[in-house]
Amino acid sequence: MGISERPGITESFEKLGLSSNEARVYLALLENHPITGYQLSKNSGILRPVVYEMLNRLVDKGGARIIKSNPDTYIPVEIDEFIKNIEIEVADAKKSIIKTLKEYLVVDNTDYFWNIIGEKNILNSISMLLERAKKEIYIEINHQDYLDEFIKKLEERLKSGVQINIFSYYQLEVRGMTLYSYKLDSSFKSEWISHDFINICADNEEGIMINMSDLKTAKAVFSKNPAFVSSIRQKILSQIYFYRLWTYLGTDKIKALINNEDRKLLEKIEKHLSLG
C-alpha cells in the first residue's frame, strides 16, 4: 500500500488547508524523489498539467523544492518543516483578516443568542469565553471528565489573577481553584441532578449553558445578553449560598426555608454521605 492510499491521510492534509490534489502530489513526491514533473505524473497517474500546477503551489507553500537542472526536478520538504510553513502561512493570513475586518466591521452582539452544536464546537466556545475573562469565572458542573476538557485553560486564568468559583454536587479535582461541593462520589444518582448540564459565566458579561449529551448532539446556548448572563451567575451563586447555609445549619434547620424537592434532595444527599 502506497502512502497516499493510507486511510485518512489525504483528508488530514485537507484539514490543514491543502487541496486534495496538492496532498496527492506531495505524497507521491515523498515516495519517489528527486523527480521531474513528467516522471511524477507517469508514476502517480495524475495528469501532467495538474502535477505541474500542484508542484508550483507546493513550492510556494513550502512543501517542495526545485532542483534546477534540465529538466527541473523536485524534492519534498520534510513534513515537520512543511507543517511549520503551513502554520506560519495560516497565522499570517489570520492576522491580516482580523486586522482588515476589524477596521470595517463592529458588531454589537449583546442581545444575540447563539446555538452551538457538537462537543468540539462547544469546547472551543468555552475556551474562548474563559480566555476573555479578566476578573471572575463562575462554573456549575457535575462531571470530572467534562471539567478536565478545559481545566488547563482554567489554570491559566487562575495564574493570571482571575477569581474562579466552582459549584458541584460531586467531589472534583480542581487543582487549587475554589470548589463548593457536597463531595458526593460518582455512585450517587438523583433525578434532580444532571451530570450533563454545565453553566459558565465570565465577568458577568457573557455566559454559556450547556447540555453535554454526547459528541454529536451536545448543545449549548451562548450570549452576552445581560438578563441571560445574570441568570446564570445568580443560579450558581444561589447554589453556593444554599450549600454554605446547609453546611452551617444542617438539613433539619433549613427545612422550613426550602421547597419539597430541595428537601428530598438534601435528605438523600445526607443519607448517602452518612453511609459513605
For the chain, which residues score pLDDT lower than 50?
Answer: 1
Pairing of strands 64-67, 73-76: antiparallel
Determine the angle formed by the axes of helices 79-104 and 48-61, rounding to 10 degrees.
80
Three-state SS string over 161-191 comes to CCEEEEEEEECCCCCCCEEEEEEECCCCCCC
What percent of the chain has pLDDT above 90?
59
What pLDDT is attached to residue 224? 93
Return d(Cα 234, Cα 201) in angstroms, integer: 10
**Residue 148 is placed in which grid cell?**
478536565
Return d(Cα 141, Cα 207) in angstroms, integer: 14
- 227-266 pLDDT per residue, tens: 999 999 999 999 999 999 988 888 788 877 787 888 888 8
Return d(Cα 179, Cα 109) in angstroms, integer: 32
- 91-129 pLDDT per residue, tens: 888 888 888 877 766 666 677 899 999 999 999 999 999
What pLDDT is attached to residue 10? 86
What pLDDT is attached to residue 215? 65
Return d(Cα 276, Cα 274) in angstroms, integer: 5
Query: How many Å is the maximal CA-CA distance in the chain?
Result: 93
Query: What domains can be seen in the chain, in order of their start residue?
Result: 3-82 (1.10.10.10), 113-275 (3.30.870.10)
What pLDDT is attached to residue 235? 95
Q: Would you say the C-alpha torsion 261, 264, 265, 266 has a positive or negative sign? A: positive
What pLDDT is attached to residue 108? 64
Q: What is the overall mean pLDDT for the chain?
A: 89
Distances (CA, A) of 71 to 31, 58, 119, 122, 164: 20, 18, 51, 52, 64
